[in-house]
Amino acid sequence: MLGLGLEQIADILSRLESQTISVHPKQCVRLRHRRATCTRCADACPTHAITWSESLQIDSDKCTGCGICATVCPSGAIEARSPTNVELLTQVQERAKEQAAVVFACPKHLKAMESNGAHFIRVNCLGRLDASILVGAVAAGARSVCLMDGACAECPNTTGRAVAAQMAQTANALLQAWGLSPRIASVSQFAPESKTPTRVSASTQGVSRRAFFDLLARETTKATAITIASVLGSTNAQEKEEEIKKGELPTRAPVKQQILLKCLRRIGKPVVKDWEGNLWAQFGFAVKCNGCQMCAFFCPTGALTKIEQEGKLGVTFKIALCTNCRLCQEICYLKSVTLSMTIDLNKVVDGTVDTFLMADAKAAFWRLSPEERFEQTLKSHLGKE
């Protein structure tokens, strides 16, 4: 990959490991297959501590621990820690008990927040807040979630503000799909006397008084019924790497994905079936697929798994584990993998598993010896690189 061996790439990526960043090199899609083009961590890094060009380069001295790379990484190769998402949500739960609004602020807002008596949760950068934290705050009982961005205008880290805004938009879209009004907003100032943001949510406009209070009552009932313990469950235990079978690559659902699923399931059932976003993608394939199953072999989260059924080769697909990393589509040398951004939310919360049978197990390709099949598939996937 890019002229470097896999062990070299893993070693370089591990240099990013720090007190605030946890690294799982084998989950990086660029490490799993050389056809992968993902550069989300490098594109979002405000200090250029991570760069992808002709080769991967890590400059740990430039890393500020903002956590943005962990927010945008789709496969869980990079995750935030000190605090982890679990630890951060524990703080959220305590704040939700004390005040209606959960307020997040970066260190630049520290003095201003202390001077007006507001209670807040400190994060190195607002861009560290992924959808699991924002939705999780609502699941923990927060009536509103405020992202203090008053200092962002003068901050050289403009990426953080943009990522935070995108995550807030995605989280609000999910809340609406679950029948809740948007509760997450960026605010420049916070009024401690009201304990709520001064900005009025546009979602209440055009709603009748009776409908508004019916919605408010329904939301309050849902929110107060959820505790952080029930939301997180055994997430800590799931962070451990599973034993890897010989000849297989490790699979691991990102912790933020696990938390988001738990939060959404605890909130209830979605009121919108078909939803379009970038958190998941619906897998499919074209008739030209030969059933090589490499899409499942390289999948980093275990959303795709190999099967043989009814004399045919295929894969199973669990959309709840899909993170839209798009590796399966990029590595398919026949270009037969299709990914739809419109997904069925019921399949997500129910953990539905779809079965796709692709090719006759007795076809010419599969009459080759295992060594010949491997060599032919490897050449087709990797080309002459």
Q: Do residues 255 and 76 lie in contact, with contact meaning Cβ atoms separated by under 8 Å?
A: yes
Which amino acid, residue 301? Answer: T
pLDDT for res 216: 46
CATH architecture of 6-82: 2-Layer Sandwich (3.30)
80 and 21 Cβ atoms separated by less than 8 Å? yes
User: In three state form, how does the secondary structure of 325-360 look?
Assistant: CCHHHHHCCCCCEEEECEEEHHHHHHCCEEEEEEEE
The candidate with the shortest Cα–Cα distance to 44, out of 163, 132, 128, 166, is: 163
Query: What residue spans define the domains of the chain?
Result: 6-82, 85-230, 273-382
Q: 289, 341, 345: which is closest to 315 by C-alpha? A: 289
Structure tokens at 261: 């699923």
Residues of the chain with pLDDT under 50: 1-3, 115, 117, 193-225, 236-242, 384-385
Helix, strand, or coil (residue 317): strand
CB-facing half-sphere around the CA of 153: CA atoms within 13 A: 4
Say what the pLDDT of residue 204 is. Answer: 35
Q: Which stretch of DSSP H or E encloses residue 148?
A: strand 144-148
pLDDT of residue 111: 59
Residues contacting 87, CB < 8 A, separation 6+? none
- Rounded distance, CA 347 to CA 322, Å? 11
| pLDDT of res. 95 | 87
At 150 the pLDDT is 83
Structure tokens at 380: 């087709």
Residue 185 β-bridge partners = 146
The CA distances from residue 40 to 30, 124, 309, in Å, are 11, 19, 37
Tell me the C-alpha distance between 27 and 9, whole Å: 12
Q: Helices (DSSP H) in the chain: which residue ranges?
A: 6-14, 29-32, 40-44, 68-72, 85-98, 110-115, 131-139, 158-177, 209-224, 228-232, 235-238, 255-267, 294-298, 327-331, 345-350, 370-382
Tell me if residue 106 falls in helix, strand or coil: coil
74 CB-near residues (< 8 Å, 6+ apart): 29, 38, 40, 254, 323, 324, 325
195 CB neighbour count, 10 Å cutoff? 16
Instruction: Encode 263-296: b = buried (16+ Cβ within 10 Å), e = exposed.
Output: bbbbbeebeeeebebebbbbbebeeebbbbbbbb
Structure token pair of residue 216: 């408010």
pTM above 0.85, yes or no: no
